[in-house]
Structures are given as C-alpha cells and as structure tokens.
Amino acid sequence: MALVSGPVRVTVPATSANLGPGFDALGLALSMRDTLSAEVLPSGLVVEVTGAGASDVPRDESHLVVRCIRAALARLGESAPGLRLTCENVIPHSRGLGSSSAAIVAGLGLGRALVVHGAEQLSDDELFRMAADIEGHPDNVAPALFGGFTISGHEPSGFFSVNSPVSPVVSAVVFVPPTPVETRVARGLLPSTVPHADAAANSGRAALLVAALAGDPSLLLPATREWLHQDYREPAMPESLALVRSLRALGFAAIVSGAGPTVLAFATSADARAELLTRMPEGWASHALEVDHDGLIVG
C-alpha cells in the first residue's frame, strides 16, 4: 500500500445518544456537520481549527483527530512523516452532541482515506469497532459513522451496531446552553445500582421508542420517559432538566441529549418545530435539525 498525494476530506454529523430511555445504546445522527481535511507532509504537524472549540483544542499530536488518523494509518501498516489537518467545527463541544465521537470517526476516516485503497483494507464495520474502542462506548460513534438511528452495544466478541428506521416526519430541535458539562462529570453523578422496577420500566420505554421512531411518532412522548440517568444528573444541569420538564408538560417529547446539557425535542411537523423554537431560554442557542442518514462522508 501507499499514501495518496494531495488532501482528503470528510464530513461527519452531530449525534444524540440515549434519547431518553436508550441509555448507552440508542443514538441518532443529526444534520449538523463538521468538515475536516488532511494531507501528508514531508515532515512536521500543522493543525488548523476554526469554529466550535477552536480556542480550546490542542494543536499538537495530542489532538484527538490526529491521534485517530495515526491509529487508522497504523492499522493499515502505514505512517505519515508529517500531517496537515484542517478542522471546520460546527458541532458544539462538551454539550452532548457527540463532538468527540465526530472527531474520532472523522480521524479514522481521514486516516483510511490517506491510504491508497484503504477502504478495501479497512471496512466500515472494522472502523466502527476501532472508534468504539477509542471512545469506550458505541452509542455516538455508531450514528456518526453509519447515519440514521442506531442500536448498539457490546458482546464478548466485540461492539455491534444495527440501524433502525425513522419515520420521515420526525425531526428535532436542539437547545444548546452556553455552559458545557464534561461527560465524566455527568457520568460521575450516576448511581452504581438502580431499583429493579425502574430498570424494568426503562427497558419497556426503550423498546417503545424504537417502534415510535419507526412508525408511530404519536407515541414519542411516553416512549422518551426514562428512569436511569436524567434526574440523577440534574445537579450538573438544573436549567436543562427544567427545560425538559416544561417542554414535556406542553406535550413535546423532550430529553437531555447524551450526557447533556443540550436538550433535544422531537417534532413531527413544521408547526411543532416553529413552536419549539419560541421556547428557547435566554442566552441559549437553538437549531432545527433533520435526521442525518448519511453518516461519515468521504470526499
């Protein structure tokens, strides 16, 4: 194998994990995309970042995308003497919209694309397993790579993911607060055990959510009820939980996106999207988004 000459380019979507009851299992790709390009240089490392997180991310070998490019190259038996990486970031960082998973999938995708016939040697399924290993769980990297609505998990043989249908009438509005919450902080608030009744109720709603998204969106409000994580995380994001409760009281299927603090509300009509956008708290940002069915795009 050999390295390609000239730059390669990928785009990758934002994602929302959990979706209420689907804790660490369900994920949805959304129509908000980061765009990245990479090129092999004779030597050195150049990292150029614009947009979300530009003032916070490192510009050296510790950059997550750089590490993932090198991981994909190594898996393909190649190495780059130097690299130029350009990131145009749109996905907010530390807001529960899968920015780190997007970086991982993009980096692995760039590394594969830098190798001549790399896609023939490193399949999407293997790239997914690499991404899940790096991230530590598959619920965001699966929709970032495959697009759409994914159900993922881990077996003794490794990580798995399957896509499930989404009704074409389903879209989402996300409400992004100005203050981030780190995933490790949000996870640190979760108890080590939960009551059996809560676990049983949660599993039933997760199953209902798959059916609601696929064919009966009228069930999205009850299907997004959950018992495993949102209330426990309230001390880290009280404004987010207050918004979730107020939207649900109005009949909107609202949940905390991933580990938060972004709030996602499902919509099934243009009128519902318009109404939701009027509910944005002061100082927050809102985005009306479609379900992204493309996942990682190369080129």
Each residue's pLDDT expressed in tens, for the chain with a length of 299 residues: 699 999 999 999 999 999 999 999 999 999 999 999 999 999 999 999 999 999 999 999 999 999 999 999 999 999 999 999 999 999 999 999 999 999 999 999 999 999 999 999 999 999 999 999 999 999 999 999 999 999 999 999 999 999 999 999 999 999 999 999 888 888 899 999 999 999 999 999 999 999 999 999 999 999 999 999 999 999 999 999 999 999 999 999 999 999 999 999 999 999 999 999 999 999 999 999 999 999 999 99
| DSSP annotation of 17 | E
Q: Write the single-letter amino acid at 180.
A: P
May I ask the CATH class of domain 8-164+294-298?
alpha beta
Residue 189 confidence (pLDDT)? 94
Instruction: Confirm whether residue 79 is marked as ligand binding.
Output: no
Residue 182 confidence (pLDDT)? 87
Instruction: Confirm whether residue 143 is marked as ligand binding.
Output: no
Instruction: Confirm whether residue 94 is marked as ligand binding.
Output: yes
Domain with CATH 3.30.230.10 in the chain: 8-164+294-298
Instruction: Confirm whether residue 167 is marked as ligand binding.
Output: no
Q: Which CATH architecture has domain 171-290?
A: 2-Layer Sandwich (3.30)
Instruction: Confirm whether residue 96 is marked as ligand binding.
Output: yes
Instruction: Confirm whether residue 248 is marked as ligand binding.
Output: no
Instruction: Confirm whether residue 98 is marked as ligand binding.
Output: yes
Answer whether 0.85 is exceeded by the pTM. Answer: yes
Distance CA 238, CA 253 (A): 18
Instruction: Confirm whether residue 99 is marked as ligand binding.
Output: yes
Residue 184 confidence (pLDDT)? 86
Domain with CATH 3.30.70.890 in the chain: 171-290
| Per-residue H/E/C for 35-56 | EEEEEEECCEEEEEEEECCCCC
Instruction: Report which of 170, 169, 112 is spatially closest to residue 145, judged by C-alpha positions.
Output: 112
Question: Residues, the chain, total?
Answer: 299
Instruction: Confirm whether residue 101 is marked as ligand binding.
Output: yes
DSSP string, 138-149: STTHHHHHH-SE
Instruction: Report which of 67, 83, 63 is spatially closest to residue 75, judged by C-alpha positions.
Output: 67
